[in-house]
Amino acid sequence: MSKKATADSSFEQNIAELEAIVQKLEHGELALDDALQQFERGVGLARLSQQQLQQAEQKVQILLQQGSGEQLQPYES
């Protein structure tokens, strides 16, 4: 039904899917097993999105440090 969250999916795709899951869960019309599966998927998407945000933030910090003449630190993924 839903695809597995991967690092290849974009942040925007993950957030859109997460929002759709939240709407389904808020309506409360899912069977318990389906709701649990959707919740588990949502948790995975939230974690992946958080990682993507942290990586983007780290890249920005590296670029800002480079522009200020400070020592450039290696990117850790």
In tens, the pLDDT along 20-37 reads 999 999 999 999 999 999
57 contacts 65 by C-beta, under 8 angstroms: no
This prediction has a pTM of 0.73
Amino acid in the structure at residue 6? T
| Residue range 41-67, pLDDT digits in tens | 999 999 999 999 999 999 998 888 877
Q: Residue 14 CB: number of other CB atoms within 10 A?
A: 20
Q: Measured between alpha carbons, how far is 77 from 57 in angstroms, rounded to an integer?
A: 11
C-alpha dihedral sign at 34, 40, 46, 51: negative
For the segment(s) 11-67, the CATH number from 1.10.12, 1.10.3470, 1.25.40, 1.10.287 is: 1.10.287
| Cα atoms found within 13 Å of the Cα of residue 65, Cβ hemisphere only | 12
